[in-house]
Amino acid sequence: MVNAVTRSRVLTVAEELGYRPNRAARALTTGRTHNLGLIVADIANPFFPPLIKAAHAAARQRDYHLFVADTDEEPAAEEELVQAFSKQVDGVVLCSPRSSNRALERLAERVPFVVINRRLRGAATVLMDVGHGAKLAVEHLAGLGHTRVGLVSGPVGSWTSSEIRTAAEQVPGVELVVVGPNAPTERGGFAAARGVRDAGVTGVLAYNDLMAIGLVEGLAELGLTVPEDMSVVGFDDIVPGRLNRPKLTTVAMPTAAAGRLAVDLLIQEVTATTSLETRLVVRDSTAAPR
């Protein structure tokens, strides 16, 4: 609606004056803040930084700001943060939430959001296919000759942990022994080592790589070596797992792709469920049983 010459003059003067639009004032007329929230379960977990970085890049490319918050694995904190964000952002990405579906559906009435790694009725969801990954991991152990396999499960309320268990139980020829629930940390894996040893298994699938690394340490304290005495498979393919000794066999998760896609769905206001492929990465922490 503006003459091209006038537009050029206005933009030139604005640049000379260092003028920048006031987002708060603009939001009063447009109803949009151009801010997004991203809530993660544990920002100290190496699983999340690649996702956060990719989400931030996708938001910035669309001229949005991204605010990141950490729940420290507390469901109550999720509700508090969504409520706090609701008046300051145009939408929220919830990554690996611990709240119940009923609580999440109630929160969805306050602000638009996209959920990563949780199926939620009526909401846009980005799922990493952990069930397929768990199946690949247990089939890998079975192929090496393991017939009794442990599952070091994650925290209560974790959709990912439930999906892993469901898929692992369906692999034929393998008896699955669940050890857990456990804190999804290196310390949680370390604490599970004695239960794994006493379960009489020869191979283990851990809820995530941090737990797998802690489990390897805990088994060593008990006099068991990996993979000679116990094969261990993790989940996520975080950098520490590649540096660990032995290098960790794991299920690689498309975390960066999930972060980018979640932001795109949120900005486009698309309600859809998208599944991203996982893959098995075989390294040094698995071998045939003695």
Q: Binning pLDDT at 50, 70 and 90, where does residue 28 land? A: low
* Average pLDDT over every residue of 241-245: 93
Element (H, E) at 138: helix 130-143
Of 100, 96, 107, 91, which Cα lies nearest the Cα of 51?
96
Q: Binning pLDDT at 50, 70 and 90, where does residue 254 land? A: very high
pLDDT at position 24? 65
pLDDT at position 239? 95
Res. 32: pLDDT tops 90: no
Q: What percent of the chain has pLDDT over 90?
A: 80
Res. 26: pLDDT tops 70: no
Q: Binning pLDDT at 50, 70 and 90, where does residue 109 land? A: confident
Res. 1: pLDDT tops 90: no
Residue 285 pairs in a beta bridge with: none
**48 and 58 Cβ atoms separated by less than 8 Å:** no
Res. 279: pLDDT tops 70: yes
DSSP structure class, residue 114: E
Res. 98: pLDDT tops 90: no
Q: Binning pLDDT at 50, 70 and 90, where does residue 134 land? A: very high
Domain ranges (residues) in the chain: 4-127+255-276, 130-253
Q: pLDDT averaged over the chain?
A: 93
Res. 86: pLDDT tops 90: no
Task: List pLDDT tens digits, range 154-188.
Answer: 998 889 999 999 999 999 999 999 999 999 999 99
* Average pLDDT over every residue of 226-251: 96
Q: How far apart are CA 283 and CA 152, in angstroms?
A: 19
Q: Which residue has the tokens 């894996």?
A: 189
Maximal CA-CA distance, the chain = 80
The domain defined by 130-253 folds into Rossmann fold (3.40.50)
Question: Same fold for the domain at 4-127+255-276 and the one at 130-253?
Answer: yes
pLDDT at position 212? 98
Q: Binning pLDDT at 50, 70 and 90, where does residue 20 land? A: confident
Which CATH homologous superfamily contains domain 4-127+255-276? Response regulator (3.40.50.2300)
pLDDT at position 197? 97
Residue 116 pairs in a beta bridge with: 95, 126
Neighbours of 20 (CB within 10 A): 7
Of 226, 142, 240, 141, which Cα lies nearest the Cα of 186?
240
Res. 228: pLDDT tops 70: yes
Res. 40: pLDDT tops 90: yes
Q: Binning pLDDT at 50, 70 and 90, where does residue 110 land? A: confident
Res. 34: pLDDT tops 70: yes
* Average pLDDT over every residue of 218-234: 98
Q: Binning pLDDT at 50, 70 and 90, where does residue 23 land? A: low
pLDDT at position 87? 84
